[in-house]
Structure 1
Amino acid sequence: MAVALHPSIDGGVKPGTGSFAGGTLSCLCTTRTVRLKIKGDVAHNHACGCTKCWKPAGAVFSVVAVTGTDNIEVAENGDKLAVVDPSALILRHACKECGVHMYGPVEKDHAFKGLSFVHPERFAEAGSAAPGFAAFVSSVIESGVSPSKMDGIRARFKELGLEPYDCLNPVLMDVLATFTAKKMGTFRE
Structure 2
Amino acid sequence: MSVIAIHPLIDTQRQVTGAAFSGGTLICACVEKPVKVRTRHDLAHNHVCGCTQCWKPAGANFSIVAVVPTKDVDVLENSDKLAVVDPSALILRHACKECGVHMHGPVEREHPFQGLSFIHPERFQESGWAQPGFAAFVSSIIESGFDPSNMDAVRSRLKELNLEPYDCLSPGLMDYIATWTAKKKGVLPA
**TM tier relative to shorter chain:** 0.7 to 0.9
Q: Does 1:150 align with 2:146?
A: no
TM-score, reference length from structure 1: 0.86
Shift of 1:133: 0.1
- Mapped to 2, the partners of 1:14 and 1:157 lie a distance apart of 16
Counterpart residue identity of residue 34, structure 2: T
Q: Report the equivalent of 2:68.
A: 67
**8 Å contact from structure 2 (residues 136, 165) kept in 1:** yes
1:111-151: CA deviation from partner (whole Å, max 9, x where unpaired): 00000000000001111111000000001111100111111
1:14 aligns with 2:15: yes
Give the equivalent residue in structure 1 for 2:105: 104
Letter in 1 for 2:109: K
Residues in 1 aligned to 2:122 and 2:44: alpha-carbon distance in whole angstroms: 14
For 1:101 and 1:156, how far apart are their aligned partners in 2?
Answer: 26
- Aligned pair 1:46/2:58, yes or no? no
Deviations 1:11-48 (A, max 9, x none): 22635212002111000000010001111211100000
Tell me whether 1:159 sits opposite 2:160 in the alignment: yes
> C-alpha displacement at 1:2, in angstroms?
2.1
Give the gaps of 5 or more residues in structure 2.
169-190
Q: Deviations over 1:76-125 (max 9, x none)?
A: 00100000000000000000000000000000000000000000000011
Deviation track 1:39-70 (CA, whole Å, cap 9, x = no partner) reads 12111000000010000011111110000001
**Alignment root-mean-square deviation, CA:** 1.3
Normalized against structure 2, the TM-score is what? Answer: 0.86
Question: Whole-Å Cα distance in 2 between the matches of residues 90 and 52 of structure 1?
Answer: 9
Aligned residues: 168
Inter-partner Cα distance in structure 2 for 1:80 and 1:13: 30
The CA distance in 2 between the partners of 1:53 and 1:15, in whole Å, is: 21
Structure 1: distance between partners of 2:27 and 2:115:
22
